[in-house]
Amino acid sequence: MTAEAFRILRAAGRTPVAWKNGGGTTREIAASPGATTDAFDWRVSLADVAADGPFSLFPGVDRTLTVVEGAGMDLMVDGEHHIVDEPYWPHDFPGDVETDGRLLAGPVVNLNVMYRRDAVRARTAVVRGTLRLAAPEGGAVLAVALEDGAVIDGTDTALRRYDAVLLRGTAVCELRTQGYAALVTLSR
Protein backbone atom coordinates (compact mmCIF):
# COMPACT_ATOMS: atom_id res chain seq x y z
CA MET A 1 0.00 0.00 0.00
CA THR A 2 1.18 3.50 -0.72
CA ALA A 3 1.03 6.20 1.95
CA GLU A 4 -1.35 8.20 -0.26
CA ALA A 5 -3.78 5.30 -0.64
CA PHE A 6 -3.80 4.40 3.08
CA ARG A 7 -3.61 7.14 5.72
CA ILE A 8 -4.07 7.16 9.47
CA LEU A 9 -5.68 10.41 10.65
CA ARG A 10 -5.08 11.03 14.34
CA ALA A 11 -7.66 12.94 16.41
CA ALA A 12 -4.99 14.60 18.53
CA GLY A 13 -3.85 16.90 15.71
CA ARG A 14 -7.24 18.35 14.75
CA THR A 15 -7.76 22.06 15.34
CA PRO A 16 -11.28 23.34 16.10
CA VAL A 17 -12.53 25.75 13.41
CA ALA A 18 -15.59 28.01 13.59
CA TRP A 19 -18.65 26.89 11.65
CA LYS A 20 -19.54 28.72 8.45
CA ASN A 21 -22.32 30.55 10.40
CA GLY A 22 -20.15 31.06 13.51
CA GLY A 23 -22.53 29.10 15.77
CA GLY A 24 -20.10 26.42 16.94
CA THR A 25 -16.88 24.61 16.07
CA THR A 26 -15.88 21.62 13.99
CA ARG A 27 -12.80 19.42 13.80
CA GLU A 28 -12.25 18.18 10.26
CA ILE A 29 -11.32 14.52 9.90
CA ALA A 30 -10.97 14.43 6.09
CA ALA A 31 -12.16 16.26 2.98
CA SER A 32 -11.81 16.06 -0.77
CA PRO A 33 -10.49 17.79 -2.73
CA GLY A 34 -9.41 20.16 0.03
CA ALA A 35 -10.25 21.73 3.32
CA THR A 36 -12.22 24.91 2.87
CA THR A 37 -15.68 25.77 4.11
CA ASP A 38 -17.38 25.57 0.70
CA ALA A 39 -14.97 24.02 -1.83
CA PHE A 40 -15.32 20.29 -1.18
CA ASP A 41 -16.88 17.30 -2.88
CA TRP A 42 -17.12 15.60 0.51
CA ARG A 43 -16.16 16.46 4.05
CA VAL A 44 -16.29 14.51 7.33
CA SER A 45 -15.89 16.25 10.68
CA LEU A 46 -16.80 16.22 14.34
CA ALA A 47 -19.07 19.13 15.29
CA ASP A 48 -19.19 20.41 18.86
CA VAL A 49 -22.69 21.74 19.55
CA ALA A 50 -23.06 23.61 22.85
CA ALA A 51 -26.14 25.75 22.13
CA ASP A 52 -29.40 25.73 20.17
CA GLY A 53 -29.34 27.44 16.80
CA PRO A 54 -29.46 27.33 13.01
CA PHE A 55 -27.33 25.07 10.86
CA SER A 56 -25.16 26.57 8.12
CA LEU A 57 -26.64 26.30 4.63
CA PHE A 58 -24.63 24.40 1.99
CA PRO A 59 -26.24 24.63 -1.49
CA GLY A 60 -26.23 21.32 -3.38
CA VAL A 61 -24.98 19.39 -0.35
CA ASP A 62 -26.57 16.46 1.49
CA ARG A 63 -25.66 15.69 5.09
CA THR A 64 -25.57 12.76 7.47
CA LEU A 65 -25.49 13.57 11.18
CA THR A 66 -24.63 10.93 13.77
CA VAL A 67 -24.72 11.78 17.49
CA VAL A 68 -21.54 10.36 19.04
CA GLU A 69 -21.67 12.14 22.44
CA GLY A 70 -24.59 13.59 24.40
CA ALA A 71 -28.35 13.13 24.57
CA GLY A 72 -29.13 14.31 21.04
CA MET A 73 -31.00 17.02 19.20
CA ASP A 74 -34.41 17.99 17.91
CA LEU A 75 -33.77 19.05 14.33
CA MET A 76 -36.31 21.19 12.51
CA VAL A 77 -35.48 20.40 8.85
CA ASP A 78 -37.44 22.47 6.34
CA GLY A 79 -40.29 22.81 8.86
CA GLU A 80 -40.36 19.14 9.91
CA HIS A 81 -39.23 17.78 13.32
CA HIS A 82 -36.59 15.05 13.42
CA ILE A 83 -35.66 13.78 16.87
CA VAL A 84 -32.05 12.59 16.70
CA ASP A 85 -31.56 11.01 20.11
CA GLU A 86 -30.22 7.54 19.36
CA PRO A 87 -26.42 7.43 19.69
CA TYR A 88 -24.57 6.08 16.66
CA TRP A 89 -27.69 6.23 14.44
CA PRO A 90 -26.95 8.10 11.16
CA HIS A 91 -29.61 10.63 10.13
CA ASP A 92 -29.70 11.98 6.54
CA PHE A 93 -31.07 15.39 5.53
CA PRO A 94 -30.49 18.03 2.83
CA GLY A 95 -27.87 20.63 3.72
CA ASP A 96 -29.43 23.34 1.60
CA VAL A 97 -32.74 23.77 3.44
CA GLU A 98 -33.38 25.74 6.59
CA THR A 99 -32.39 23.57 9.55
CA ASP A 100 -32.45 24.50 13.21
CA GLY A 101 -31.15 22.36 16.06
CA ARG A 102 -32.36 22.26 19.68
CA LEU A 103 -30.34 20.32 22.23
CA LEU A 104 -32.33 17.75 24.18
CA ALA A 105 -30.19 17.73 27.35
CA GLY A 106 -26.89 19.56 27.07
CA PRO A 107 -24.03 19.68 24.55
CA VAL A 108 -23.48 17.04 21.88
CA VAL A 109 -20.75 15.98 19.50
CA ASN A 110 -21.95 14.96 16.04
CA LEU A 111 -20.12 13.10 13.31
CA ASN A 112 -21.01 15.24 10.30
CA VAL A 113 -20.75 13.87 6.74
CA MET A 114 -21.38 16.39 3.94
CA TYR A 115 -21.24 15.61 0.23
CA ARG A 116 -22.19 17.32 -3.04
CA ARG A 117 -25.15 15.37 -4.36
CA ASP A 118 -24.18 15.98 -8.01
CA ALA A 119 -20.59 14.73 -7.52
CA VAL A 120 -20.51 12.11 -4.76
CA ARG A 121 -22.68 9.53 -3.06
CA ALA A 122 -22.00 8.86 0.63
CA ARG A 123 -23.23 6.03 2.82
CA THR A 124 -22.65 6.10 6.57
CA ALA A 125 -22.98 3.07 8.82
CA VAL A 126 -21.99 2.44 12.41
CA VAL A 127 -20.43 -0.98 12.81
CA ARG A 128 -18.44 -3.18 15.17
CA GLY A 129 -16.44 -6.36 14.79
CA THR A 130 -14.04 -7.22 11.98
CA LEU A 131 -14.48 -5.63 8.58
CA ARG A 132 -12.58 -5.56 5.34
CA LEU A 133 -12.12 -1.99 4.15
CA ALA A 134 -11.70 -1.23 0.45
CA ALA A 135 -12.47 1.96 -1.44
CA PRO A 136 -14.96 1.80 -4.31
CA GLU A 137 -13.45 2.54 -7.73
CA GLY A 138 -12.71 6.27 -7.94
CA GLY A 139 -13.90 6.82 -4.38
CA ALA A 140 -12.77 6.48 -0.79
CA VAL A 141 -13.67 4.78 2.45
CA LEU A 142 -13.17 6.38 5.84
CA ALA A 143 -13.45 4.49 9.13
CA VAL A 144 -13.64 6.58 12.31
CA ALA A 145 -13.18 4.85 15.68
CA LEU A 146 -16.02 6.04 17.91
CA GLU A 147 -14.54 4.25 20.92
CA ASP A 148 -11.04 3.13 21.89
CA GLY A 149 -9.95 -0.36 20.91
CA ALA A 150 -9.84 -0.46 17.11
CA VAL A 151 -6.87 -2.13 15.42
CA ILE A 152 -5.79 -2.43 11.81
CA ASP A 153 -4.98 -6.14 11.37
CA GLY A 154 -1.53 -7.05 10.17
CA THR A 155 -0.01 -3.87 11.58
CA ASP A 156 0.78 -2.52 15.01
CA THR A 157 -1.59 0.40 14.35
CA ALA A 158 -4.22 1.00 17.00
CA LEU A 159 -6.93 3.63 16.63
CA ARG A 160 -8.00 5.58 19.69
CA ARG A 161 -11.35 7.35 19.95
CA TYR A 162 -11.94 9.58 16.89
CA ASP A 163 -8.78 8.43 15.07
CA ALA A 164 -9.54 7.41 11.50
CA VAL A 165 -8.19 5.45 8.56
CA LEU A 166 -8.74 6.71 5.00
CA LEU A 167 -8.37 4.38 2.01
CA ARG A 168 -8.31 5.33 -1.66
CA GLY A 169 -7.31 3.55 -4.84
CA THR A 170 -6.58 -0.14 -4.42
CA ALA A 171 -5.65 -0.03 -0.73
CA VAL A 172 -7.28 -2.71 1.40
CA CYS A 173 -7.12 -3.40 5.13
CA GLU A 174 -8.99 -5.22 7.83
CA LEU A 175 -10.28 -3.26 10.81
CA ARG A 176 -11.09 -4.96 14.12
CA THR A 177 -13.10 -2.98 16.63
CA GLN A 178 -13.74 -3.67 20.29
CA GLY A 179 -16.34 -0.87 20.26
CA TYR A 180 -18.11 1.01 17.49
CA ALA A 181 -16.71 2.66 14.36
CA ALA A 182 -18.36 4.85 11.74
CA LEU A 183 -17.81 3.66 8.19
CA VAL A 184 -18.26 6.29 5.47
CA THR A 185 -18.17 4.99 1.88
CA LEU A 186 -17.80 7.70 -0.77
CA SER A 187 -18.37 6.86 -4.41
CA ARG A 188 -18.76 8.75 -7.68
User: Distance of alpha carbon 7 from its chain centroid, rounded?
Assistant: 16
For residue 1, the model assigns a pLDDT of: 42
* CATH label, 120-187, candidates 2.60.120.10, 2.60.40.10, 2.130.10.10, 3.40.50.150: 2.60.120.10
pLDDT of residue 54: 93
Q: Do domains 14-116 and 120-187 have the same CATH topology?
A: yes
Q: Convert 162-173 to b/e letters by CB count within 10 Å (16 or more is b).
A: bbbbbbbbebeb
| pLDDT of amino acid 27 | 95
Dist. CA 58–CA 16, nearest whole Å: 19
SS3 state of residue 56: coil
Q: Contact 157/151 with Cβ under 8 angstroms?
A: yes
Give every residue of the chain whose pLDDT is below 50, as ranges: 1-3
In CATH terms, 14-116 corresponds, of 3.40.50.10680, 3.40.50.10140, 2.60.40.10, 2.60.120.10, to 2.60.120.10
Q: What is the pLDDT of residues 116-130, one digit of tens each?
A: 999 999 999 999 999
Report domain extents, the chain: 14-116, 120-187
Distance CA 92, CA 110 (A): 13
From the CB of residue 90, how many other CB atoms can be counted at a distance below 10 Å? Answer: 19
Per-residue model confidence (pLDDT) at position 154? 78
